[in-house]
Amino acid sequence: MNTKVQVRPGMLVPSGVSHRFAANLFLRVLERLEHGKVFWADASGSRAFGHDGGLVAQVEIRDPSFYRRVLVGGPLEAARMYIEGGWDCSDLTALFRIVLHNESVRAGLGAKTPWLVRAARKLQHLLRSNTKSGSRANIGAHYDLGNDLFRLFLDSTLSYSSAFFEHPNQSLEHASLAKLDRLCRKLELNAQDHLVEIGTGWGGLAIHAAENYGCRVTTTTISKEQYDLAVARIAERGLSDRVTVLLKDYRDLEGQFSKLVSVEMIEAVGDKFLPGYFAKCSDLLVPGGKAAIQAITIPERRIEAARANIEFSQVYIFPGSEIPTISQLVDVPARHSRLDVLGIEDLTPHYAETLRLWAVNFERNLSLVRAIGYSEAFTRMWRYYLHYCEAAFRERHNGVVQVVYTKRWERA
């Protein structure tokens, strides 16, 4: 179990630039705030930016080097300094949403990050390419953090993906079950089906499908921690005769199946490997078979900027990840496989609520997180991650969809 966070030193800035000069530059950018209100406090005093009537956040700067480091390092350096304890906030989700509402502020801060810094980060990301060996390393960096950590903020199904809330007061567990059942019903699962799943997680969908629809399931993961727990959970439910768990890269799967499912695994594939991913999904299905893929998405308007820059989650949470656009989910299989889209459903608001509840669970169990050995830096990183993602989905900076495909009988 890896409980440590590698927090690298802050970006070098000219020693002649004073903290106060850097602070003045930074705060002048904050004066552009038009939507929301931020109460800002540092060693020199307090001030307010923005306007009443919207989102509100309070920020306290604890490390005077914050301004110099963030001016040069941009949002990634702000994240690093939060992890280090250099600043704090009363409501991280609100702060991130305010930032997303104010393009001029984002542009003003991002423009000050030197191209060499951005290029170095991009190179680091490219070196994490999702080859077979690269995928094992990237997946292990996140999912092998320790099953006990995930148990402390997920529900009993251990679903680590967007739930589906059928009504406002539905519990996270019931919403996760609703999501699993929604996918099964879209696939029209029945007892005669053999379902293949790319990305086991901790076995929640495989268990649900086998128990409630009577089908056989073959599911694969490349996370050893997930594999071990999924096998144990399936055995506990008496489903080992119907569910087979493999510790294998999806590219090495063989055979043909009547149905296929993959839940929020495609983000770990990467643009370069999407054609091969969809070709493999197509090859695994019999003609007329159906596939359901739940995928986090990025809006078309953001794709160029996203590929040119590296975001917090790609550095600290999901190394090697690249979120696809909806057009990629349609066009790539159309060009490289025999999969045709039958339907797309947007679940984006459901993910924002899912993340909010994960954050609530995480804070509720924070003492247990620390008790099993996770550092203060790690807990701050995880808190930042959960709120960062909630804000992204609330503001549709990212989306999530379920896409259903069918395999054509002949290549058209």
Q: Which of 184, 215, 281, 389 is catalytic?
A: 389
List CB contacts of 138: < 8 A, sequence separation 6 or more.
128, 130, 268, 318, 319, 320, 321
Q: How long is the chain?
A: 412
Residue 103: C-alpha distances to residues 26, 78, 159, 261 (Å): 15, 17, 34, 37
What six digits make up the tokens of 332?
A: 């790539």
What six digits make up the tokens of 339?
A: 């999969």
User: Is 281 an active-site residue?
Assistant: no
Cβ atoms within 10 Å of 338's Cβ, excluding its own:
21
Instruction: Report d(CA 257, CA 217) in Å as an integer.
Output: 9
Burial 175-212 (b: 16+ CB within 10 A, else e): bbbbbbbbbbebbebeeebbbbbbbbbbbbbbbbbbee
Q: Please give the positions annotated as active site.
A: 389
